[in-house]
Structure 1
Amino acid sequence: MATFDHLGITVDDVPRASEQFNPVFEALGYIRAHNAEDLAYWRRDDEPEILLYPAREHGVHVHGRVGWQHLAFAVESRDEVDRLHAIALDAGWVDVRAPKEYPRFSERYYACFVEDENGIRLEIMHNPPRETSD
């Protein structure tokens, strides 16, 4: 059986991107395990690693074109969405969509979207399970 092992993200400047990603990833419980000019990566328990690699061709990813869409992180509460949104903005991420409800996904869906200097987009979301009656 195949499993998801790691995610590699190409960025223009690994050290700069690492400094933007690190506060957000640390707040999500990841630990920066390596930080160098040509590679940075984070680990969390048995989760897939997230790696930053240097671009061979420089430029910015444009959201909506073929390729990367966004990476979503599920968190435990709406307050956690708000907290991580503030951490990302403090680290230099751009606010794409401030925290709000997304009833088109579900009546419980609450999320924000941020983007870094490379055009890499993250979503921080909270979507608790629907309560069931026994």
Structure 2
Amino acid sequence: MTVFDHLGITVNDLARGIAQFDPVMQALGFGREDAAASVAWWREGEVELILFPAREPADERHVHGRAGWQHLAFATDSRAEVERLHAIALAAGWTEVRPPQVFPRFNERYFASFVEDDSGIRLEFMHNPPRES
């Protein structure tokens, strides 16, 4: 049994959230299911991601580093996949936080990029192959 079943994320504008998340989630191989006041992406054996609209209009977006959301990291099979997903996110309107690059503070193999949506939700695309034996 998996520990995490689903992740719910609240966004300021659901239609805009769908426009930004859908290309990324589709590129990751997730199916989409729309409901009356939410949308979910799922893939067999994976955590389901659900977007909900904010119950009250927000005057500002989430600010990275404040209490609450930090980021969600998607593991990939290659550096090329990190670069591909990063480009798809940018084309869907995400803002680049960090371009695809090696992050030696984690380890010399850790290759990742970071993007944020209009609500301040941050995603990471990362490739961290095991050490060679």
Counterpart in the other structure of 1:6: 6
* CA distance in structure 2 between the partners assigned to 1:35 and 1:80 by the alignment: 30
Counterpart in the other structure of 1:86: 87
- Deviation of 1:34 after TM superposition, in Å, equals 1.7
Matched, 1:40 2:19: no
Evaluate the alpha carbon distance shift between residue 34 and residue 122 of structure 1 in structure 2; reply closer, same or farther with a 3 A threshold. Answer: same
- For structure 1, the residue ranges without an aligned partner over 5 or more in a row are none
- For structure 2, the residue ranges without an aligned partner over 5 or more in a row are none
User: 1:44-97 CA distances to partner (integer Å, 9 max, x unpaired)?
Assistant: 111111000111232211111000000000000000000000000000000000
1:53 counterpart letter in structure 2: F
How many residue pairs get aligned? The number is 131
Q: Give every structure 1 segment of 4 or more consecutive aligned residues whose post-TM-superposition deviation is greater than 4 Å.
A: none
Counterpart in the other structure of 2:132: 131
**RMSD of the alignment, in Å?**
1.3
Counterpart in the other structure of 1:18: 18
* CA distance in structure 2 between the partners assigned to 1:2 and 1:126 by the alignment: 22
Evaluate the alpha carbon distance shift between residue 35 and residue 95 of structure 1 in structure 2; reply closer, same or farther with a 3 A threshold. Answer: farther
* CA distance in structure 2 between the partners assigned to 1:55 and 1:26 by the alignment: 23
TM-score for both structures, normalised by structure 2: 0.94
TM-score for both structures, normalised by structure 1: 0.93
Contact 1:18 1:35 in 2 (8 A): no
Query: How high is the sequence identity, in percent, across the aligned residues?
Result: 63
Counterpart in the other structure of 2:77: 76
2:39 counterpart letter in structure 1: A
